[in-house]
Amino acid sequence: MHHEAHTLLKEVFGYESFRPLQQEIITNVLNKRDTLVVMPTGGGKSLCYQIPALIFPGLTVVVSPLISLMKDQVEQLQEVGAGAVFLNSSLSYDEYRHNVACIMRDEAKLLYVAPETLLMQKTLALLDSKTMDCLAIDEAHCISEWGHDFRPEYRQLAGIRSRYPHAVSMALTATATPRVQNDIKNSLNFDASNEFIASFNRKNLFLEMAAKTNPMLQTVEFVEQFPNQSGIIYCSTRRQVDELAAILIGEGFSATLYHAGLSDEERRRNQERFIRDDVQIIVATIAFGMGINKPNIRFIVHYDLPKNIESYYQQIGRAGRDGLHAHCLLLYSYGDIRTINYFIEQKSPEEQRIATIHLNAMVGLAETDVCRRIPLLRYFGEQYEAPNCGMCDNCTNTGQELVDITIPAQKFLSCVKRTGELFGAGHVIDVLRGSQAQKVLQHRHDQLSTYGIGLEFSKKQWFHLSRQFLQKGLMTQDLEFGSLKLTSKAWEVFRGNEKVMGKIEAERRSDEYTALSDQEYDATLFELLRKKRKELADAANMPPYIIFPDTTLIDMATYFPQSSESLLTMQGVGAVKLEKYGDIFLTLIRDYCAAHEIAEKPKRQWKSPLAKANASGTRRHIAVGEAYNEGKSIQELMIQFGVKQRTILDNLSKYLKDGHSLNRADDLLKASTLAPEQQQQVLRLFDQLGAERLKPLFDALHESISYDELNILRLYYLTQKGNHYEKVGS
């Protein structure tokens, strides 16, 4: 068997040697021993069941929740001559029958199925008629409630095991903490000795995490470092995806987008373009990437903080699968944390508890001042011992400023001990800050010597410090209940034998500018501008923000504009305010810059495609109509121009009224969501009532069809009739 596995590795898959653990795993499976495989993304998990499948005489069933992964792997196996098919909801009736027939004729050695498909009676009846040698459960973390992507149907797979007792079982995942690993083994009744845990350390990935200041600028400047290279940018919302993709395209980058708001066909097409290197950058929500086996992805950008370390690790794992250097940048802000917390609050109490612990671990990773790999690998149960990885921002940043936080550490650790090591950071901080919270009083913790000794820091600052104490190994946190426990290292800090170095987060006053709180600006100039604004406002008897909001002054104190043209690029400065206040503020800025030898900084500006069209003298509807005729769909036009569907339809209508023609009438019809019989009813009414006004049709249809739908069908109707707005058929 060992020789046969090597032969298949070389002759079928084209590799000279196995990667770490692959050979041991394959041998274990061929010996019919149930096997847990935890191997990082890109580590070669698939071969661990594909090679045994080609050796076993019977069928290997691979359970996967991802249709795209099934399709991709089956196509790859068929390409190398290995018999493989899949059964899922994406197949037509004829395709489904064809794949079942392949299984019945023993032409398929591997069957890929979604868990829902596997649990169907007709699938089980099919498998009952065959010999199943192996059941491989991919994305096995879905079994565990502590997994980042728990799926209840995965829990039912234990019943499949008992139905086919002679089949060896495999559970495979790239992202499983020790807690999740135990859940998987217990759920599937695996022998603890048959587990293979590869290192989670992806040595070729450079890890960087930065405070989000100007995310659009940070992202564009980062991407500029990778000309003609493939990369993924993850955003938390569809709107962010749309906006960022439009900006990148406008800046001349080869980019496309992917999110659930696109049609299945658009998602498939955009994904295919990215995989085939027809486009270099894909901006996406987390819906993108599962099952993507593109080896040459050189960078990953997280535009927003992921909600847990598993998601982050899974997503950066899509970079550098060829083993070459890849760069992973994560941007984060406290706004991201607030957003995630909002969604956590919508969950059940038990789900809230788990999600909060996951989020705290993610924030801790983002804020750590030690090597990024230490807390990242520790989260997955692996110790990283090297003093400097040389592949993260913390290890390569020689100018990092740390301060002595030994006394705050002693206060916090002492409070953890005096409260019995039974509580989480929130309660400990309440005690330190002398809170009158019911929980503090109920446990008589207002009587402790540590009560009220931490008033020098805000609650937010103490949370930031507490995460550092965890990262430095002074405490551990119970992952089930969140309680903090001291380590032996903490006692060395108590005794004064060990100094603690870290960061104390600056606490802003409530009257300071906060909307762009992380933007670097000249505070002295900002105060001078505020003083001048107040003088002008008092003289005019109006609130200061009416003259310029703080955002405008922040921009001025950041970019130091010294001409009218430059001042116009500051947000909040238009032609009228330039005329009223431009000379006053420019004089102040010029004098300040001359005294301090400061040069003007150019402000990088992005305008929407519509704004660019207007600036160049092209009327909006002409730009939209021409883009449509060049092959853009209505959805793509909405993204390109940053507007709603109704605006695009109105512009296409104006384009027709100007005497221009629209092509691709069928594409217009596809944009309609009406049933075919409703569409025909509307088109007949256009024949009867004409197409110049929609109100008569809206009334004739008893207001049952929206104006947007009528507008789409009018465009289709006119395109079919020769693009004329005259009243037809009246």
Question: The pTM is what?
Answer: 0.59
| Strands of 351-424, DSSP E | 403-404
Judge whether 432 and 415 are in contact, CB under 8 Å. Answer: yes
Strand (E) or helix (H) holding 321: none
| Strands of 205-325, DSSP E | 205-211, 230-234, 255-258, 281-284, 297-302
Separation of alpha carbons 412 and 465, rounded Å: 9
Q: What type of residue is 662?
A: L
Q: Report which DSSP code applies to 143.
A: G
pLDDT at 615: 44
Query: Angle, to 10 degrees, between the axis of helix 645-657 and the axis of helix 634-641?
Result: 100
Q: Report which DSSP code applies to 41.
A: T
Helix, coil or strand: residue 328:
strand
pLDDT at 2: 66
Q: What are phi and psi of 541, to 5 degrees?
A: 55, 55
Closest CA to 683 of 656, 653, 705: 705
HSE, side-chain direction, 13 A CA sphere, residue 184:
30
Judge whether 404 and 468 are in contact, CB under 8 Å. Answer: no
Burial 470-482 (b: 16+ CB within 10 A, else e): bbbebbebebeeb
CA dihedral 418, 423, 428, 430 (to 10 degrees): -120
228 bridge partner residues: none
- Helix then strand then coil, in percent of the chain rounded to 5, is 50, 10, 40
| Strands of 73-229, DSSP E | 84-87, 110-113, 132-137, 168-173, 195-197, 205-211
CB atoms within 10 A of CB 447: 9
Closest CA to 477 of 378, 599, 597, 368: 378
pLDDT at 728: 40
pLDDT at 146: 72
Separation of alpha carbons 123 and 179, rounded Å: 32
Judge whether 241 and 235 are in contact, CB under 8 Å. Answer: yes
* pLDDT less than 70: residues of the chain: 1-2, 42, 68, 147-149, 289-291, 398-401, 479-481, 506-520, 545, 604-619, 639-643, 721-730
Burial 183-200 (b: 16+ CB within 10 A, else e): bbbebbebeeebbbbbeb
Query: Angle, to 10 degrees, between the axis of helix 93-104 and the axis of helix 121-128?
Result: 20
Separation of alpha carbons 70 and 63, rounded Å: 9
Q: Is 221 exposed, middle or buried (0-12, 13-18, 19+ CB in 10 A)?
A: exposed
pLDDT at 172: 92
Token pair for residue 549? 């909001």
Angle at 220 between CA 215 and CA 225, to 5 degrees: 130
pLDDT at 506: 63
Q: Is 36 exposed, middle or buried (0-12, 13-18, 19+ CB in 10 A)?
A: buried
